[in-house]
Chain A
């Protein structure tokens, strides 16, 4: 997704203003004029100035050129591109939302299966790879490195 610099500049200005508004609520620190709000305010100022420079530069540059404000990468204009992106982000989101309840292994196998299928692997390969990759991660991290990956439904089984 390509934005024009004018648009990203505007977004940065908004971010800066948001930070200014938030940091106004930080309590001041007894004894000095410098408190928790100091650096956030300076950074916010930086965002506003940087954003404004981007906007200006872009407007100067495109006085002649023109063109749309948002260009979706050509890859993302096709359904396959969107599906691939969605499958990747969906895998990550599923681990966040469902992982703690259903357990890492289950969510991982199902998620990877979908992703492999979206990437047009044959079903049997996709199934084997999804299970294999999950088992590998589980073995390396949960067993070898003792990372407390959620077991979820498989609690007490693996």
Chain B
């Protein structure tokens, strides 16, 4: 008991000193010796998911490079709004970073938040995954061409597709693809689901016909022989699935889209701090420990330096705006 009392009292005194110091010396004192205390990595998605696992791996490696613990904190809910807000509104001192995901290019179009990619300091893109068109194994489509023929011949609303919630990235993938085929956005009915796992379940159970989610998310069912990937919505084949043709190769439009995850901090991070983190992030992206982990989960490593990361987010914003307008998701 006395020990607690002592350490607490000492802490109080130091606290008072720190407060005084902070008041007198706004901000620059720590830049030289950054990082002098543990960092926080905010993940806008739940523990156990792909983003969470990626973030935990990056944090573990970042910890080694920066010499300070990096604590992963899940701030979930609101389709990513809560976590992305927490990253953007954290103090811009380099002690709070986060994983910025593709949803940042989508949420503000739906009026869910004011935040855009401009509200972050990009520190490096780590991963990009394109969705595959996946159907149930007993549906009997030989290739993507056969599926497209069947869709085109069908009455609007006959086919159902799923993969995520209304207006989620995989919904936009479907809409963008239908558009590129010259079909109406609702020619195939989108059935919202609470993520890819329930959607896969619904596909196998016969509730929906098409799933447009990433290869990693379909892997178990495809390996089990219950589902079949028909084509990848990308400009090039995936390293993990060299036999899977792209949409363009299947002669089925050249539509391409990806979900992505990057490391970011609040806007206006001090330049030297941002430099330090982005260098570490760049090293992690080629670290075999990281790449092997990503391979094992079926995630595609796609590193972009901060400048390219910023540009990519800007481009994605425009692409998403188009897709969401097409899907009738943007409310005025």
Known contacts being A30-B328, A131-B5, is A154 close to B15, with CB within 8 Å?
yes
Interface membership of A122, Cβ < 8 A? no
What's the nearest-Cβ distance from chain A to residue B281, in Å? Answer: 21
Q: Could you tell me the distance between the alpha carbons of A37 and B40 in the complex, rounded to whole angstroms? A: 38
Do B14 and A157 touch (CB < 8 A)?
yes
Q: Could you tell me the distance between the alpha carbons of A154 and B18 in the complex, rounded to whole angstroms? A: 8
For B40, what are the chain A residues with a Cβ–Cβ distance below 8 Å?
148
Q: Could you tell me the distance between the alpha carbons of A156 and B30 in the complex, rounded to whole angstroms? A: 11
What's the nearest-Cβ distance from chain A to residue B13, in Å? Answer: 9
Do A155 and B18 touch (CB < 8 A)?
yes
Interface membership of B36, Cβ < 8 A? yes
Do A131 and B73 touch (CB < 8 A)?
no
What are the interface flags for B126-161 relative to A under an 8 Å C-beta threshold, 1 for contact and 0 otherwise? 000000000000000000000000000000000000
Do B36 and A156 touch (CB < 8 A)?
yes
Chain A residue at minimal CB-CB distance from B13: A157
Do B186 and A157 touch (CB < 8 A)?
no
Do A30 and B36 touch (CB < 8 A)?
no
Chain A residue at minimal CB-CB distance from B69: A146
Contacting residues of chain A (118-158) with chain B, CB-CB under 8 angstroms? 127-128, 131-132, 134-135, 146, 148, 153-158
Do A158 and B4 touch (CB < 8 A)?
no
Q: Could you tell me the distance between the alpha carbons of A105 and B8 in the complex, rounded to whole angstroms? A: 9
Interface membership of A31, Cβ < 8 A? yes
Do B8 and A109 touch (CB < 8 A)?
yes
Interface membership of A27, Cβ < 8 A? yes
> A-B pairs with the 8 shortest C-beta distances?
A153-B15, A135-B4, A157-B14, A154-B15, A157-B11, A156-B37, A148-B73, A131-B4
Selected A-B contacts with CB under 8 Å, 19 pairs: A30-B186, A106-B15, A109-B8, A127-B5, A128-B5, A131-B4, A131-B5, A131-B8, A134-B8, A135-B4, A148-B73, A153-B15, A153-B16, A153-B19, A154-B11, A154-B15, A156-B18, A157-B11, A157-B14
B binding-site residues for A, Cβ under 8 Å: 1, 4-5, 7-8, 11-12, 14-16, 18-19, 36-37, 40, 71, 73, 186, 189, 328, 331
